[in-house]
Amino acid sequence: MGISFLAPLFLMGALAVAIPVLIHLSQKTKKEAVRFPSLMFLTRVPYKEVRKQRIRHWLVFLLRSVAILLLTVAFARPLLENSALGVVGIADARENVIMLDQSFSMSYGPRWDRALDAARRVVDGLRPDDRATLILFSDRAEMVEPPGRDLVVLRSVIDQLRPTHRSTRYGPALQLAEQVLRESELPHREAVIITDFQKVGWDEEVSAKLPQGTQLTRVDVSDPDPVNIAVADVSLSRDYVSNREEVTVLARITNQGPEPAAGLQVTLDVDGQRSAERVVDLAANDAVAVRFPPVPLPQRDVRYVIRAGEDAMPVDNAYHLVVSPGAPISVLILQHPSARAEESLYLERALQIGREPRYQVLTKRVNELVPSDLDQTAAVILNDAPYPQRESGRSLRRYVEAGGGLLVVFGQRVGAGTWPVAMNDMLPGSIGDPVDRLAERGGTFSVADYDHPIFELFSTPRSGDFSQTRVFRYHRISQQTSATVLARYDDAGIALAEVRLGQGKVLAWTSDMANSWNDFPLQPVFLPFVHQVVQYLAAYEPVRPSRTVGQLLDLSRDLVTDGVTRTETASSSGELDLVVTAPSGERWVERAGSPDRLLELEEQGYYEFRGLGAGDELLVRIAVNVAAAESDLTTVDAEEFASAITESGGASAAASLVATASPEERERRQGLWWYLLIAVLLVLVAESALANRAGRTKRKTTE
C-alpha cells in the first residue's frame, strides 16, 4: 500500500520543524545584559556551560516537531494507493437523482402524499457514500443539492415541499438530470422519477437522455381512472345597452373522467356575490359551454369567479377574472373646411361598429380645430383636409411628438402644395401629383409588411384580401429615408407609409377613403383595416381579464396596460414601490427603479398591487389561472417514457469507472487529512499540558 500526496509542495513545510529546534536552542539566551545592583556575590561562569544545557524539555520539543510534521502532511493531502478504504467506498457509491413532479396535477387526491412517501423512501435507502440530488420540476426544473451531501437536510427539504400551480413539462427536469449524471464520477448512477406521468407534459422529441448504465426507477403516483371537472376557458363578450356596459360570460367546462357528470353546478360570482347559477349535464370526456346572463359592469374593476363542481383536484374547478370597464378609443376626424356633410361617412361608420374596443368618434372641420380637442384624443385622422393652420397646427405637431397618432388621408381636396413646407417632416415623403389609373381600369394594392401590427391580423391565409380593391387615383409620394412603406400599389406606388415623429407616429394613406378614388371602403377588409389603423395609432393594448400561472409580469409596463392608467392615483404605479399580495396572502415589496421589475406569477387567484405608503388603496388586481392543459390527467405509457429517456447499452459502465475515479475523489473519500488534523490537535493539547507543567516546575524552583 503506497501513499501519495495531492499537494506535495506542502511537504516543504516540513522545514518548519526547524522552528521548535531554534526555539529550544535559543530561548534561554538573551542579548541584553541584566542590570544588577552589585555583582559582589556573583561568581563568573564560563559561557560554554550554557550551551551544554540549552535543549531541555525534550518531550515538549518532540511533540512540537511532531505537530508540525503532521500538519505539513495533512496539508499535502495524502491518499493511500490501492487502499480498501478508498476503493470500497467509491465502488459502492451511487449518484442518485430524484426527480419529483411538483405540478398542480400532483395535488389530485393523495398523489402528493404518495410522491413524498416515495421520495422519503428513496432518501432513506441511500448510504452515506451515496450522493443525492433532488430535482423539483413542473414546467421548469430546479436542483436541490444538500450541502455536504447531508441526507438529513435533504429529507427535511422534502418534508417542506408543496405542489405548485404550474403545469408539467418533463424536458427541463430530464436535461438537468442528464447533466448531473453525466458529470458524476461515481460508478453507479440511479435516477428516480416520481410523477403522475401526465401526457400533457410529455414531448416525444425530448432530446435529454439519461446516460448509459443509469438505473431508472419510475414511481407512478397516478390514479387509474381520475375524475376531473375543470373550467377550461372563459370568454367575455361586451354589449352596451342604454350606454350601459354589460358583460356576458361564456365558460367552457370539461369533464376529463370516464364517468358522466350529471347535475353539475356551475356558478358565477361577481365580487364575491353569487350572480348566476347553471346546472349542466356532462358526458364522460366531454365539454360544454355555459353562458351566463349578461351582468351590468360598473365603472371599476370587478372580480369574476366561475366555479364548476367539486373533485379531487379543486385548483382547476375555479376560473378567476378581473373585468375592467371597456374604455373607448377617442378618434378625432378632421375634414376639409368645405367638406360635405357625410364626407367621412365610411370612416365614421367603420368606427361606430367597434365593440372591443369601442371607438368614440368626433368629426370636425379642420378650421374649427382648437388645441383642447386633442387633449383626450387617442388618434387623429386628417381626412382629405389641409394641415391646420397657426396654433392648431402647432398643437397637432406637439400632440404627435408627445406620442399621439395621426393618419393623413390624401384625396381629391388635398395634394401637392397644400401641405405646409415646415411640416414636411411629418410625412413619409413629399407629396406629388395624383396618378390616374383610370385608363387601366384601376389598379390594386397589396401589403408590403405583414409583420406590421396593422397587417398582422391579415397575415394568415383567407383573413383579408386587399387585392380586390380597385384604386383609380392616388397621390405619388417620394419616400424619405426614415419612412417605412407598409403597402404598395401594383405599380409600385406607395399606398400606406409610416414615419415616426418624436414619440408619435404618422401614417399617410395616398388615396381617399370616401369611395371616390377607390372602392376600398366597400371592401370587407376596410372595417378591420380602419380598426387596426386606429388601434395602432392609439397604441391600444387590450386589457387581459386573466393571466396564466408561469407568465412573467413586467411591473413597469404590464400593470399600466392592465388598467392602472385608468385611475389618477395609479397613473404612476410604474414608478411606485409596490406592495404585492399573492393569492396565498404572502406580501412583499417590489422596489421602484429596479431594472427588471419582473414578477413570475406562481399561484392561482388574485395578485393585488398597492402603492407603498399609499395606505390600503388598491392600485391593480390581476387574476391568474392555472394552465387549462394541465387539467387533462391522461397519462403517458411509462414503458414508452422510460425507453425514450434512457440510452441503450453500456451496462458495465460502473466497472470501468472504478479505475477512473480521480485522485481528488479518492483523497476526498479517504479524508486522511482530517485524521491528521485531529492527531495534530491531540499532540498540541499534550504539548500544552507538558509545557505548562514544565513551566510550573521551573517557577517553583525559582521561588
Residues that bind other proteins in the complex, under the rule CB under 8 A = 28-30, 32-47, 49-50, 53, 698, 702-703
- CB-nearer residue toward other proteins: 32 or 225: 32
> Rounded CA gap, 471 and 360, in Å?
29
What are the start-end ranges of the H helices in 108-244?
111-124, 151-159, 171-183
Q: What is the DSSP string of 38-71?
A: --TTPPP--THHHHHT----HHHHHHHHHHHHHH
- CB-nearer residue toward other proteins: 32 or 183: 32
CB of 54 to other proteins, least distance (A): 9
| Cβ neighbourhood burial of 236 (10 Å; 0-12, 13-18, 19+) | middle
- CB-nearer residue toward other proteins: 390 or 699: 699
- CB-nearer residue toward other proteins: 38 or 299: 38
> Rounded CA gap, 145 and 685, in Å?
37
Containing H/E element for 262? strand 261-270
> Rounded CA gap, 625 and 603, in Å?
8
CB of 19 to other proteins, least distance (A): 19
CB of 17 to other proteins, least distance (A): 24
CB of 15 to other proteins, least distance (A): 27
CB of 32 to other proteins, least distance (A): 7
Q: 336-358: buried (b, 16+ CB within 10 Å) or exposed (e) per residue?
A: beebeeebbebbbebbeebeebb
Strand pairing report for 244-255 and 188-195? unpaired
- CB-nearer residue toward other proteins: 38 or 207: 38
- CB-nearer residue toward other proteins: 50 or 682: 50
SS3 408: strand
Q: Measuring CA to CA, how many Å separate 12 from each of 79, 364, 677?
A: 18, 95, 18
CB of 50 to other proteins, least distance (A): 4
CB of 691 to other proteins, least distance (A): 15
CB of 7 to other proteins, least distance (A): 40
CB of 26 to other proteins, least distance (A): 11
CB of 694 to other proteins, least distance (A): 12
Residue 519 DSSP class = S
Assess contact for 614 and 568: CB atoms under 8 A.
no
Say which residue the cell 508540525 belongs to.
Answer: 68
Residue 515 DSSP class = S
The three cell numbers of residue 684 are 498540541
Cβ neighbours of residue 702 under 8 Å, at least 6 residues apart? none
CB of 34 to other proteins, least distance (A): 5
- CB-nearer residue toward other proteins: 1 or 42: 42
- CB-nearer residue toward other proteins: 49 or 124: 49
Give the bridge partners for 509, in sequence order: 409, 496
How many other C-beta atoms lie within 10 A of the C-beta of residue 252? 18
Containing H/E element for 588? strand 587-590
How many other C-beta atoms lie within 10 A of the C-beta of residue 180? 21
CB of 51 to other proteins, least distance (A): 9
> Rounded CA gap, 41 and 548, in Å?
101
> Rounded CA gap, 597 and 334, in Å?
41
- CB-nearer residue toward other proteins: 424 or 697: 697
Q: Residue 240 phi/psi, 5° resolution?
A: -120, 115
